Amino acid sequence: MNLKTIIRSAKTNVDVGKWSVGHIPRSAFPLSKLKEKRYKFGSEYSWRVVKFECCRHKFRVLIILNMQKQILRARLGLESGNDMIVLSDFEFHASEPGWHCHVTLEHVARLAPGAARHEKKKWPRNSSKLEFGLDEAGALSAVANHYRFAAQGELL
């Protein structure tokens, strides 16, 4: 199983969670090799965790949004015991032009849990500068379209 298979496969038991502000509890998206300070965000950041099942495995997407700074990060991870195996980061931020992803093309069995990024490829390498223009609903829609899950129940 690899990232392409996961994205293209049907998702079930989708739970979009609720938007929260600031500090992210480690239990929301556990990464054993990530330092505690990487989970601390100020009140200008909103976040939510989407959970779903796919290919007989459980996944989570951690969405972090700062509308004022025009930052969106959506990290896709495979649950692995009390840890996560990160497969992709879908992002928009001012320091790099346009929407892009950091992805690993490795089979998930070859990836160690707990790391925020493995040797990932950036895709597309050069994207045009696009407008951000997202609120919380738009951010969730963009992430749902990218990772191909349909929210069940309320979006907000």
Domain limits of the chain?
A: 3-23+43-147
| Contact assessment for residue 76 and residue 11, using Cβ atoms and an 8 Å cutoff | no
Residue 107's pLDDT band (boundaries 50, 70, 90)? confident
Q: What percent of the chain has pLDDT over 90?
A: 51
Residue 93 phi/psi, 5-degree rounding, is: -160, 155
How far out from the chain centre does Cα 74 lie? 3
Alpha carbon distance 44, 55 (integer Å) = 36
Residue 156's pLDDT band (boundaries 50, 70, 90)? very low
